[in-house]
Amino acid sequence: MALWGGRFSSETRNEVTQYSESISFDQRLYHFDIAGSKAHVTMLAEQGIIPAETAKAIREELDRIERRIDAGEFRYDIAMEDIHMHIESALIEALGAEGARVHSARSRNDQVALDIRLYLRSEVDSLIAELRHFQRALVAQADAHPRTVMPGFTHLQHAQPVLFAHHLLAYVEMLDRDAERLAGCRERINVMPLGSGAIAGSTLPINRERVCEELGFSRVTRNSMDAVADRDFAIELVSDLAIFAMHTSRLSEDLILWCSQEFDFIELDDAFCTGSSLMPQKKNPDVCELTRGKTARVYGALTALLTMCKGLPLTYNRDLQEDKVAIFDALDTVKMILKVYPPMIETMKLKEEKMLAAASDPALMATDIAEKLVELGVPFRTAHHRVGAFVKYCREHGKALDEVTLGEMKETIPEATPEFLTLFDPVASVAKRNITGGTGFEQVAKQLDFWKKSLEF
């Protein structure tokens, strides 16, 4: 009979047992379930709810169970449903009725809420550390090429010359926001729900604050009903993971474009690419493509959690067992991305001459001409119109912008001077963008210095 089976007169059907088990995926919570149980029995003994010697024996047996699980010597049985019942059953098997005292003043409802918070708190700490490693890889690649000029794009059209380092540092900024979001989410994860019971707390004189202190939480939950029903923290975390995955998917798309024959700006190391089973010449950026696909999985996990919770009445409902499937899959997917991307970025090779050649199209300096007119006192919209007319004139006459004479330029830009004919150098164009946040050499050097200090290179 199951540990909860006293009220029942018949055994659960085998099909229901298979349908309702969660041990196949929640066994990864064992370390946190054991930590929570040890803190709980310590408090129970201090409050005089169970004998001190019983608490000591339970803690020691929990340590032995943990070692057995670590060593792969613990047997799982779907009839015991979840990791909580497995560990409690093992305690009872070893200690008899005294082992059953572990469940005094708690429910699986507040127990699982505790376990998942402990687990996610640990995972978030690891994720932030991995994000910082990813940032360092991007900064190192940018720092190795501080003067590499490339075309920047809007609408996937050549727009203006920018520094390659500036482009990579844009992703460093994105990852920094990801880390900030995770740190904020950790604060909301780090709240202790144990002692809320199934819904209403306990009549026993427990000390929730003592367990909170023992487990390193910042505070206890204030409402027992919310404590067992709340999955906001999990939804928030998976939302943060979805945003991170979106960022890496955008980076992936850039990399895919850059290593195509049409762009030919970079080459990814062979270790991060695959070939074709049919076409011997192919080298495919599969890691990047898979990341775009895996981003959809993380989005799916977020949608699953939101949909699962949207119609649930207070308090706990068994639907919430499925939260872990989505949470674990999103976490596992993001952790795989974080493992593969830093070394792929670090080993990426640049084709700087091709980047510069693509950025040397004089049309990319059209805005420089307009802003030069602004310096001379021409209103920007007037300047914009005149430069647009100049571009049209060049196209109609089959000339590049830097191939016209001063006289030809004056036909559409009457204010033009000989200096205007020197504005078509992409390196000079980049250098002049020396404003905070700009792509100028000095500004990017400051950005690199900031990030190297912030990330403790």
CATH of the domain at 132: 1.20.200.10
Catalytic residue at 276? Answer: yes
Which pLDDT belongs to residue 8? 66
Rounded average pLDDT over 20-28:
94
Contact 134, 343 (CB under 8 A): no
Report the CATH number at residue 42: 1.10.275.10
Contact 257, 251 (CB under 8 A): no
Query: Comparing 9 with 449, which gets the higher pLDDT?
Result: 449
Q: Which helix (H) or strand (E) holds 119?
A: helix 108-144
Contact 150, 355 (CB under 8 A): yes
Q: Indicate the residue among 336, 357, 378 that finishes a domain.
A: 357
On whether both 403 and 428 belong to a single domain, the answer is yes
On whether both 334 and 393 belong to a single domain, the answer is no
Q: Indicate the residue among 357, 382, 403 that finishes a domain.
A: 357
On whether both 234 and 320 belong to a single domain, the answer is yes
Q: Which of 24, 218, 260, 276 is catalytic?
A: 276
Residue 10, phi then psi, degrees to nearest 5: -140, 155
Contact 168, 141 (CB under 8 A): yes
On whether both 367 and 333 belong to a single domain, the answer is no
On whether both 187 and 58 belong to a single domain, the answer is no
Q: Which of 9, 10, 155, 277 is catalytic?
A: 155
On whether both 175 and 264 belong to a single domain, the answer is yes
- Per-residue tokens: 433: 């963008």
pLDDT digits (tens, 9 = 90+) for 381-399: 999 999 999 999 999 999 9
Task: Provide the domain count of the chain.
Answer: 3
Which pLDDT belongs to residue 359? 98
Q: Report the SS3 class of residue 157.
A: strand
Band of pLDDT at residue 122, cut at 50, 70 and 90: very high
Which pLDDT belongs to residue 123? 98
Q: What percent of the chain has pLDDT over 90?
A: 95
Q: Report the SS3 class of residue 274.
A: strand
Please report whether residue 129 resides in a domain. Answer: yes
On whether both 288 and 405 belong to a single domain, the answer is no
Please check the confidence at residue 182 and state whether its pLDDT lies above 90: yes
Which pLDDT belongs to residue 34? 98
Q: Which helix (H) or strand (E) holds 158?
A: strand 157-163
Q: What mean pLDDT value characterizes the chain?
A: 96
Band of pLDDT at residue 16, cut at 50, 70 and 90: confident
On whether both 339 and 385 belong to a single domain, the answer is no
On whether both 133 and 18 belong to a single domain, the answer is no
Catalytic residue at 31? Answer: no
Please report whether residue 204 resides in a domain. Answer: no
Which pLDDT belongs to residue 2? 62
Report the CATH number at residue 424: 1.10.40.30
Among 76-80, 171-175, 241-245, the range scoring the smallest mean pLDDT is: 76-80
Which pLDDT belongs to residue 114? 98
Q: What angle do CA 235, 240, 245 make, to 5 degrees?
A: 120
Q: Which of 100, 135, 130, 113 is nearest to 33 (CA)?
A: 113
Please check the confidence at residue 11 and state whether its pLDDT lies above 90: no
On whether both 96 and 115 belong to a single domain, the answer is no
Band of pLDDT at residue 4, cut at 50, 70 and 90: low
Please give the residue range of the domain that contains residue 277. 109-196+222-357
Please check the confidence at residue 74 and state whether its pLDDT lies above 70: yes
Which pLDDT belongs to residue 5? 61
Which pLDDT belongs to residue 12? 74
- Per-residue tokens: 319: 């639907």
Please check the confidence at residue 290 and state whether its pLDDT lies above 60: yes
Q: Indicate the residue among 104, 122, 157 that finishes a domain.
A: 104
Please report whether residue 143 resides in a domain. Answer: yes
Query: Comparing 7 with 255, which gets the higher pLDDT?
Result: 255
Q: What's the predicted TM-score (pTM) here?
A: 0.94
CA distance 449 to 102: 54
Which pLDDT belongs to residue 457? 79
Rounded average pLDDT over 114-136:
98
- Amino acid at position 286, single letter: D
Given the structure tokens 């082992």, which residue do they identify?
Answer: 99
Maximum pairwise Cα distance, the chain: 101
Please report whether residue 352 resides in a domain. Answer: yes
Q: What is the CA radius of gyration of the chain?
A: 31
